[in-house]
A and B are shown apart, each in its own frame.
Chain A
Amino acid sequence: MSREARIKLCVLFALVAGAVVAFGAPHVLSDYFVRIILLIALNAILVLSLSLSNGFTGVFSLGHVGFIGAGAYISGILSIPVQQKLALLPHLPAFLHAFSLPFLPATLVAGVLTALLAVVVGYPLMRLSGYFVSVATMGFLIIVNVVLINASDFTRGARTFTGVPLETTLPWVFGWLAITLFVLARLVYSPFGRAMKSVRDDTIAASAVGIGVLRTRLIAFVIGAFFAGVGGSLYAHYLGSFSPNTFYFSLTMSLITMLVLGGMGSLSGALVGVVCVSLLSEVLRSVERGFTIGEFSVPALFGASQIVLGFIFILIMIFRPKGIMGEREFTFGLTQRSAVVNQTEERKR
């Protein structure tokens, strides 16, 4: 079988498997497990979108959650049913009162508007490097939080934003995850992807060979923000109600932990990190609620899961700064050429 055929077969298999899980799981598994699978896939979209600038381009943004929050609120405002919108957000501009969008268009609009925001924010900020870009993007995150709290005509301020229809189901999340993975894989393993990595590894050398550093960083930042907006919209339609602090430092920290644990320079690393951290925090959360083993009863320890995750993060930083996967990918042998091709090349030499 030729390499192309094998790749096609594998992709087909992955899609079918994903579809089976997406449509079948709710019939077989309990709601609890369906929820965990959904959260993992949702976090995967968020972490993948984060990995584009932070992992592959070397622009370690701490403001990514600002884009997720923006996406969540934009999509929420667009898709609350008209009747409820009048009651919940009475001071919205009239044209926003007039309609409410279905899930998919609302998500797309959220993604596009978030990407536009990223153009505005990224154009100045992508001039900064290393430590300074992290700090400046953190400033952006705080500004988004302040704006969300104060623009109460649009966001209900610090009060809970509610009334978003609960439409995020497994097929939606898996579909968007497949699109995200496809786009990112095409992007990262393309000439542009190599430009991104060269900007990350040696900025001066990259610009010396004619790669536009600002342009490369900005494109990565904006595409990442698009998927952050999409992910935010999915998150909004999963939660139904949320507040500005849902999208703040604590979410930032958990997404970064997932990315760093898995390995920053690898798409499969991002996925591995998401699965590990999500499962671990699920286990820890049940410990947190308190439990009884025989005679011993452990009281509820609120925040214990965060503490453990924090320690894991520091241990990774000390002992395995490149994460579980580093820059490797799970390729299942698909990127190697077939034996026949190798032999013909041997003979030519």
Chain B
Amino acid sequence: MTQLDYMLQQIVNAVSLGSLYALVAVGLSIVFGVLKLTNFAHGDVMMVGAFGVALLVGIGVPFPVAVICGIAAAAVAGFLIERIAYRPIRDAPDVARLLTSLAVTYIIENVGILVFTSSPRNFPLPAFLNTSWELSNGAITFTSINLLTIALTFVSLLLLGWFITRTTTGLGMRAAAEDMSAAQLVGLDVNRLIIVAFIVASAYAGLAGILWAAQAGVVQPQMGFTPLLKAFVAAIIGGFGSIAGALVGGYILGALEIFIVAFLPSSISSYRDAIVFAVLIAFLLVRPGGLLQPNREIKL
């Protein structure tokens, strides 16, 4: 295996992981943009999507249908979470809402453990998605699911770009993100926009959860927590609340993680997550608006 092949393999891995982070981070950013809420339950919505697929395939539903149902289930879960837990405290301070979303996470994960136990179960990936491809005599390998992840990320983000720049609802969401009360003054139905934001974000979470589970091969009630934290870091790196920022941050974080593991000695690379969160803290301190929002200031 040549140096170049090794490098290319790492780039393939980085793009694949970065796509997943970007997908999760986009959903987080949509909600944060509109509500200024860090939705920790986003990770559990991912879990709902993945479990939905696993259970439906388990009772014999064809895989593509199960995927669509899984995404729908995630969207419904996101809607319910907003309606039950977040709407009553919409005017509470930021920290109170952050804590509420942590509590929601806590509830959903424990319900998951209660119903499905915390031991991982197999994620039934059809064989045509599990085939592996080789380039340059086997020096670079990837599976169909890697390719599918990257492709789906691009397609779905293009779709999102179209939605928020070309449709009335999407424009309304951006208006609400800009200034909630002004949006209300010009006659936008803010409640409806927030619901749409949650449904869209949760559908993305569902998709991301399914892809995550497909790559990992297993589903488990707490599976959403780690990707959520990582996506959160990605969103902050790019600029929290900005969709382009989530995308940029996702790929940067994916590359950072893969390259830490690939090019640093294992005595350092085992501290990968510590490095990632140190980056998060550094961004919060030095550039809280992230890469794409350099002018945002944080008051003391």
Partner of A311 from the list B89, B107, B232, B274 (CB cut-off 8 Å) is: B107
Partner of A129 from the list B92, B99, B298 (CB cut-off 8 Å) is: B298
Question: Are A143 and B95 in touch, CB under 8 angstroms?
Answer: no
Q: In the complex, how many residue pairs between chain A and chain B have their CB atoms under 8 Å apart?
A: 120
How far does the alpha carbon of A131 sit from the alpha carbon of B296 in the complex, in Å? 15
**Which among B136-144, B145-153, B168-176, B276-284 touches the partner chain?**
B276-284
**Which among A72-80, A301-309, A335-343 touches the partner chain?**
A301-309
Say how far B276's CB is from chain A's closest CB, in angstroms. 9
The reply on A188 being an interface residue by CB < 8 A is no
The reply on B65 being an interface residue by CB < 8 A is no
The reply on B270 being an interface residue by CB < 8 A is yes
Complex interface: chain A residues within 8 A of B103 (CB): 253, 257, 310, 313-314, 317
Say how far B177's CB is from chain A's closest CB, in angstroms. 16
Q: Mark B72-110, 1 if CB is under 8 A from A, else 0.
A: 000000000000010011001111101110111011001
Question: Are B85 and A314 in touch, CB under 8 angstroms?
Answer: yes
Supposing A128-B285, A317-B89 touch, asked if A139 and B96 sit within 8 A by C-beta, the answer is: no
How far does the alpha carbon of A207 sit from the alpha carbon of B98 in the complex, in Å? 27
Question: Considering only CB atoms, which chain B residue lies closest to A130 in the complex?
Answer: B94
Question: Are B106 and A253 in touch, CB under 8 angstroms?
Answer: yes
Within 249-278 of B, Cβ neighbours of A (below 8 Å) are at 270-274, 277-278
Question: Are B281 and A139 in touch, CB under 8 angstroms?
Answer: yes
Supposing A136-B285, A317-B100 touch, asked if A203 and B299 sit within 8 A by C-beta, the answer is: yes
Say how far A157's CB is from chain B's closest CB, in angstroms. 10
Question: Are B95 and A314 in touch, CB under 8 angstroms?
Answer: no
Interface residue range, chain B: 35 or more
How far does the alpha carbon of A256 sit from the alpha carbon of B95 in the complex, in Å? 12
Q: What's the tally of chain A residues with a CB closer than 8 Å to chain B?
A: 44
Complex interface: chain A residues within 8 A of B106 (CB): 250, 253, 306, 309-310, 313
Supposing A142-B277, A203-B299, A203-B300 touch, asked if A135 and B284 sit within 8 A by C-beta, the answer is: yes
The reply on A242 being an interface residue by CB < 8 A is no
Within 141-157 of A, Cβ neighbours of B (below 8 Å) are at 142-143, 146-147, 150
Question: Are A302 and B114 in touch, CB under 8 angstroms?
Answer: yes
Within 9-41 of B, Cβ neighbours of A (below 8 Å) are at 38
Question: Are B114 and A307 in touch, CB under 8 angstroms?
Answer: yes
Question: Are B285 and A146 in touch, CB under 8 angstroms?
Answer: no
Question: Considering only CB atoms, which chain A residue lies closest to B111 in the complex?
Answer: A307
Complex interface: chain B residues within 8 A of A128 (CB): 284-285, 288, 298
Interface core residue of A132, A146, A150, A310 (most chain B CB under 10 Å): A310
How far does the alpha carbon of A131 sit from the alpha carbon of B232 in the complex, in Å? 13
Partner of B92 from the list A130, A253, A317 (CB cut-off 8 Å) is: A317
Interface core residue of B104, B107, B225 (most chain A CB under 10 Å): B107
Question: Considering only CB atoms, which chain B residue lies closest to A305 in the complex?
Answer: B110
Question: Considering only CB atoms, which chain B residue lies closest to A203 in the complex?
Answer: B300
Supposing A132-B298, A142-B229 touch, asked if A317 and B110 sit within 8 A by C-beta, the answer is: no
Question: Are A303 and B113 in touch, CB under 8 angstroms?
Answer: yes
The 4 closest A-B pairs by CB, nearest first: A310-B107, A303-B110, A131-B94, A139-B277
Chain B residues within CB distance 8 Å of chain A: 38, 85, 88-89, 92-96, 98-100, 102-104, 106-107, 110-111, 113-114, 225, 229, 232, 236, 270-274, 277-278, 280-281, 284-285, 288, 298-300
Would you mind naming 30 contact pairs between A and B with Cβ atoms under 8 Å apart?
A60-B99, A124-B281, A125-B285, A128-B288, A129-B298, A130-B94, A130-B95, A131-B94, A131-B95, A131-B98, A134-B95, A135-B98, A135-B236, A136-B284, A139-B284, A142-B274, A142-B277, A143-B273, A146-B271, A146-B277, A147-B274, A204-B299, A257-B103, A303-B111, A303-B113, A304-B110, A307-B114, A313-B100, A317-B96, A317-B99
Chain A residues within CB distance 8 Å of chain B: 60, 124-125, 127-132, 134-136, 139-140, 142-143, 146-147, 150, 203-204, 207, 213-214, 249-250, 253, 256-257, 260, 301-304, 306-307, 309-311, 313-314, 317-318, 321
